Structure 1
Amino acid sequence: MLSFHCSLNLNILETSRPFTHSYSRFFPMSSPVATAVHAAAPYDRAKAVKEFDETKVGVKGLIDSGIKVIPPIFVHPPETLAELKRGAEPGSAPEIPTVDLAAVQESRAAVVEQIRQAASTVGFFQVVNHGVPEELLRRTLAAVKAFHEQPAEKRVPVYRREIGKGVSYISNVDLFQSKAASWRDTIQIRMAPTAADSSEIPEVCREDVLEWDKEVVRVSRELYELLSEGLGLGAERLNEMGLWEGRVMVGHYYPFCPQPDLTVGLNSHADPGGLTVLLQDHIGGLQVETEQGWIHVKPQPQALVINIGDFLQIISNEAYKSAHHRVLANHSDEARVSVAVFLNPSDRERVFGPLPELTSEEKPALYRDFTFNEFMTRFFKKELDGKSLTNFFRKS
């Protein structure tokens, strides 16, 4: 059997040789692929996951190889697949709120109330007229797509799982913790407080992501002001806590999936940090869970998607709510691209908890105090699995 390790001559990516012997290691004995190739050893999931990771070419490498059946490490259990079919009733599906930030000039109070309402219910909203040039939005998405669609030998050198690296390219941050992998690859770039050296950022996307980060800082500071006012606090209360000073940018790439009904693009989860600023392309696939069921976050030209993270839910003492969200596997021939920036505190040793101004005898603190380092360490020890992070820090 051929070695599954990927060398720079990348035989694994020869599209003229789909289902090489190397790929048979991904399929169990019952698989028609395994039968067609040759008898294989009993399926060992842990081994298959390790061998997939060691290729360092991600899901894009699988697609480039010409596969028509997804490896079983990506097949989700029946209960997850059944959940994918649960959505809002046809004709009743709401849309997440859209907030026009330019309206602040006419009625700041009205915009504060719109954002407060969205943050305290669905936990998601889109913003338009945010001041980011349309050309930069297009270039940022194109730059991230260009990175993922480079020849594999350009991606392999930055494929790594070590936490804390300035730049890393991986497939599934929770690959070794999850019950099933998701059909996506990611480039992650640390922007602050200790930014990746610019020379580490792949040249194909370097200039655009650095420019994009500057715009995210401006927009996020404005959003935190409005969210702070929505809590009845001064406009600068959240910004004074440095909730935008710790930033990680991720560029997700969701290639075509030959069996989208058997897997997901991103499993259901809630983001851990304060706010997430998301730029998504026109393909769609992002869904958020609401009281009416799972609803699509429809792409809007030039809009940014904003969502509340677990950390902001905790410090607001649940005045604001984080929300489960997921991305469906991409059935389109065109790859889906999104660029998210996670906004966190910069001081990882500072102790946080529900803000004193938001607690009282009538509404005591719902969560215990913790350092942000403890908070994020807990997050990376588990798979992406809903609200277990907030449950862990909740007072008994």
Structure 2
Amino acid sequence: MAETWIWDGASFAKLVLATNPPALNFPNLAYDAKRRQVVLVLGGEIGTNTWTWNGTNWTVITPPVSPSLRDRTTAAYDKRRERVVLFGGTKYGVGNLNDTWEWDGATWQEIQPATRPSAREGHTMVFDEARTELLMFGGRFEPGTWIWDGTNWVDRAPMNSPSRRGYHGMAYDPLRQHIVVFGGEAEPNSIFVSDTWEWNGSNWIQSFPANSPQNRHGQTAVFDPHTQSVLLAGGSDDVNRYHDVWFLNGNNWVQAGTNFIVTTTNDFGPGSMREAILNANTNGGRDTIRFNIPGAGVQTIRPQSPLPAISEPVTIDGYTQPGASPNTSSNQINATLLIELDGSFLSVTQEIPGLNFVAGSQGST
């Protein structure tokens, strides 16, 4: 499908654009931090153009040099060297590849390392910020945890490792300084799995969450700065195509829940803040309370009695109120906040500190 979707920290929204890249098979995205744009890398037999996304529009680039046609490849941004690195994939009529390419913002350059991993497909790469190195893992069904140093690939050969697999989800968690791997298509017998592993810089350690997404492959994993957690989206098995979203909340996976919209400053009734909290408490998953209260300026909610205790994971996102905007400066506060929660109508004898979080609400923001 030739569609573009944006995740805002609470839900996906489809964008209506004048130009989209064509429908691709197993495309790959990498964020180029130096040039502040997303690079769309290949994906099928439709050409070797490179597309970039600036947050508003897609632009097609025809560089003088490009990798050959392929899909099922992987690419990631090497923050230390300020290059997007691509490795391997599948070329129709040829098979799997093990070539290495780098994108400098204008063209692709093939690198000829003396040591390189075997040809593979369905592998993943992420930049390990804690150790300032680019890590590649997996591939259907190729072994190894590999580091790209800009000249050569180095096999880390850890003592422990997930089973050989491809089409898994992998993301770097900067808060915990670990790389997280979930699921994929694994040996033996090409089974779909739902295990969770973390790379600490020298070894893979399996974790055992109380809850996990279903067995799957082809999912996407990224770190979501809005929720401060690793996000896992989509994937499929032999029967199902999953459209769900999960967050790794510490050592547990929490499924994203429902958006509850506050549309009035009234204390009770449909569209109230009170009703949104009650609904989030009774709904499964990690819900989001959003705001769409009519009127200009600051909207003030004044509870007449204590609001319900928050007992389930929930994000209360005041930036969703029309006209609000988050902070964009590193040295000053320039956010625009248009939702005010005012407890002045509550009796001082009630000693209400504000929003009350109780057991079960871990992960609320």
Structure with higher strand content: 2
State TM-score, norm by structure 1: 0.26
Higher RCO, 1 vs 2 (CA within 8 Å, ≥6 residues apart): 1
| Larger fraction in helix | 1
Task: Using structure 2 for the length normalisation, give the TM-score.
Answer: 0.28
